[in-house]
Structure 1
Amino acid sequence: MDAQTDLPAWRRTERQRLIAAREGLSAEQRAARNGVITALLEHGFPVLRRLIIGFCWPYRGEFDARFVIRTLRSAGARAALPDVVARATPLVFREWWPGVAMTKRVFDLPVPDGTAIVQPQALLIPLVGFDACGYRLGYGGGYFDRTLAAQATQPLRIGVGFESSRMPTIHPQPHDVAMDFIVTEAGIHVVTAGGLQRIDASESARCAQALIEERFPC
């Protein structure tokens, strides 16, 4: 299939392929990759401990962010889950904590039931796919792209997923928004003008801190 002549169809095919590969992992493989990514997020992004963090409930075998969120909340962070209020509109984020009442919404995923709407300063964004320039292939609804486009101040954009989701390109379009960082079990990558650059946890911590200070000055 030629992506240049039928991009939506090409993306649908790639999305199906990547999700099938992810769902084909054994429970042990998924748990091991989740553990590595969780540790990378904890050590590479200490700035998250004082922020409002948007994350997603795990869906179709993707990275499970609940473990790192638990650690970050214990250190002082606040957490929020996305809520689709209408088709083709930006997401809103409702504050979440363990034990809060939840209701099922889009994709049958749970959303906090009537908690306060908050504005995340950082987002852990799930990756169906990602490319060499830091662009993300999502589930096709465009919700995160619309949400990011609507923000006057950009949150820290951390794409999280498995290394098997790496692609040469997603053929980004003008509405696609690149991540600031991509984190997989292979490591932390900062998104630069020249593409993804592998960095260690200490450099990641410095870069993330600088971006937060730039976007959310005291």
Structure 2
Amino acid sequence: MEMKARKQALRKQVLAQRQTLSEQERCERSAKAVQFLMQFEDLAACKTVMVFYPFRDEIDTRPFLAHAQKRGQEVWLPYTDMENKRIIPYVYTGEDCLKLGTYGIYEPDIARCEPADVAKLDAVVLPGVAFDRSGGRMGYGAGYYDRFLAGLPGVPLLIGLSFDVQVVDEVPTEPHDFRVPYIATESGISATFPPQFERS
């Protein structure tokens, strides 16, 4: 099976599994995963962190956003530039700075938010459809995050955030796909391979 078809099949399978979680299960598992994320010392030491805003049945990152701000971290959210097929981070100051954007995801209102300086990015909490224990990550298929990471001046701390049902034996990957050294789920934080990242 060619790579594109393998990815599409796995994406369909994992999303279906995630959708089987009841609302209560999602809330409980999400709270546990985010708690582990909050307690992760390497992440707590970062000054700036880019996080995704929850969409549909993804893990609810909003408690983490509030916690990170409270402990003095600068939090960024991605804005999707559809015309140039890229994401641009903006400084998150609260939910009142958001608007409904691309794909029905809440994102920064660029008329009201300050653009972030990517040279100062210390960490990225990555969404994904599927992850594996070797650091493989598969997104939703548009490649936005891989292009964003490839354009950074340095490699920040990368942490995948998902439910356990999204961690599979093997994610089909290509040379341009970024691997993540850590995965956070409701079971804890796992190191997938020796991380190498640079902090400003």
TM norm structure 1: 0.82
- For the structure 1 residues 149 and 61, does the alpha-carbon distance in structure 2 shift closer, same or farther, using more than 3 Å as the test? same
Aligned mates of 1:143, 1:158 — CA distance in 2: 16
Task: Output the aligned Cα RMSD.
Answer: 1.9
Partner SS state of residue 86, structure 2 = coil
**1:88–1:142 Cα contact (<8 Å) kept:** no
1:31 aligns with 2:56: no
2:199 aligned partner: 216
2:41 aligned partner: 45
Unaligned residue ranges in structure 1 (runs of 5+):
194-206
Aligned mates of 1:109, 1:49 — CA distance in 2: 28
Identity %: 25
Unaligned residue ranges in structure 2 (runs of 5+):
none
2:16 aligned partner: 20
Partner SS state of residue 117, structure 1 = coil
Amino acid paired to 1:216: R
**1:49–1:72 Cα contact (<8 Å) kept:** no
Residue range with higher mean Cα deviation, 43-52 or 177-186: 43-52
**1:23–1:60 Cα contact (<8 Å) kept:** no
1:179 aligns with 2:180: yes
Aligned mates of 1:122, 1:90 — CA distance in 2: 18
1:55 aligned partner: 51
1:196 aligned partner: none
Amino acid paired to 1:37: A
Amino acid paired to 1:215: E
Aligned mates of 2:173, 2:28 — CA distance in 1: 31
Aligned residues: 195
Aligned mates of 2:42, 2:5 — CA distance in 1: 39
Shift of 1:46: 5.7
- For the structure 1 residues 16 and 112, does the alpha-carbon distance in structure 2 shift closer, same or farther, using more than 3 Å as the test? same
Partner SS state of residue 54, structure 2 = coil
Match of 2:115 among 106, 114, 117: 117
**2:6–2:172 Cα contact (<8 Å) kept:** no
**1:51–1:78 Cα contact (<8 Å) kept:** yes
| Higher RCO, 1 vs 2 (CA within 8 Å, ≥6 residues apart) | 2
Aligned mates of 1:183, 1:169 — CA distance in 2: 17
Residue range with higher mean Cα deviation, 118-127 or 81-90: 81-90
Aligned mates of 1:46, 1:157 — CA distance in 2: 10
2:61 aligned partner: 65
TM norm structure 2: 0.89
2:192 aligned partner: 191
1:11 aligns with 2:16: no
Partner SS state of residue 62, structure 1 = coil
